[in-house]
Amino acid sequence: GAGVSQTPSNKVTEKGKYVELRCDPISGHTALYWYRQSLGQGPEFLIYFQGTGAADDSGLPNDRFFAVRPEGSVSTLKIQRTERGDSAVYLCASSTQAGGLNEQFFGPGTRLTVL
């Protein structure tokens, strides 16, 4: 079956611009996660959705970052006034339910480059 998909695969933008990154989770998965992977680092947690609501957004670095999941399926990560330090690979994952015994399935990521 289809895995987690993310679009675009690559995004190049200029400092100060607004970007949206999209995640399509595996059908039926209620939990959705966003992580950010900087060069040479492991993924770092940003935000977690259970259904439509953001159950934990403690990993979002500042208020320029926002994410939504209005219908409990597709999610969009939004970054305002992008900065060069936002350059990273943004990963989305989904699982049947939240919790460590439920495997998180990762998408291929969106590589964001802020010039």
**Residues at the site binding other proteins, with contacts judged by CB under 8 A:** 3-4, 31, 33, 35, 40-45, 48, 56, 59, 91, 93, 98-101, 103-109
Residue (27 or 101) nearer to other proteins, CB: 101
Residue (53 or 99) nearer to other proteins, CB: 99
Sequence-distant (≥ 6) Cβ neighbours of residue 106 within 8 angstroms:
4, 91, 92, 93
The DSSP 8-state label assigned to residue 25 in this structure reads P
CB of 42 to other proteins, least distance (A): 3
